[in-house]
Amino acid sequence: MEGINEQPDKEVLLVEYQAAQASAQHNDNLVWTITGIIWGGMLVLFGFVLGNLHNSDLKIILTLLSILGISLTIAVWRFAFQLNSVMKQKYERCKNIEKQLGMHQHRDLKYSLRTQRIIYGIITVFFVITWLSVILIIWRSL
């Protein structure tokens, strides 16, 4: 029987490695699935709002939909950061297990740090600016 302070055996580490890697991939896929759905939905919402700018009867509704667009933009950004954090922790565990077992799949991976996060943030800021511009147009034109 394995004691509490003993190192886990190779089979246990391999199972944990596989689970951590699968979880990391799942969280990464979840980020892009959520982002794709929300960003796609917001483009449809933009179309509806912009197509009804001339209708003064919908001023309040269009404003509320624009606020919803801003809220969704900020929410999806927050979700992405949370899920990205989980993903990074899972891959870090993979790297630790790789070190223990002499593996190199994730430890030797080289990529540009934070580039994707910066681009994601820029797009998010543009969504918020666009929604704020729509609100200004709604209240100026009607």
What pLDDT, in 10s, does the model give residues 72-127?
Answer: 999 999 999 999 999 999 999 999 999 999 998 888 877 777 888 899 999 999 99
pLDDT in tens, 11-47: 999 999 999 999 999 999 999 999 999 999 999 999 9
Neighbours of 92 (CB within 10 A): 13
Q: Which residue has the tokens 């540009």?
A: 112
The predicted model scores a pTM of 0.81
Buried b / exposed e across 30-64, counting CB within 10 Å, b at 16+? ebeeebeebeeebeebbeebeebeeeeebeeebbe
Residues of the domain holding 14: 10-141
Neighbours of 77 (CB within 10 A): 19
Q: Is residue 2 part of a domain?
A: no
Number of domains in the chain: 1
Please report how many Cα atoms fall inside a 13 Å half-sphere around the Cα of residue 85, on the Cβ side. 6
Helices (H), 52-114: 59-101
Task: Calculate ∠ Cα 54-128-124, nearest 5°.
Answer: 135
Q: Is residue 84 part of a domain?
A: yes
Q: Is residue 4 part of a domain?
A: no
Q: Is residue 49 part of a domain?
A: yes
Closest to 127 (Cα-Cα) out of 55, 75, 51: 75
Q: Is residue 5 part of a domain?
A: no
Q: Is residue 1 part of a domain?
A: no
pLDDT (0 to 100) of residue 1: 47
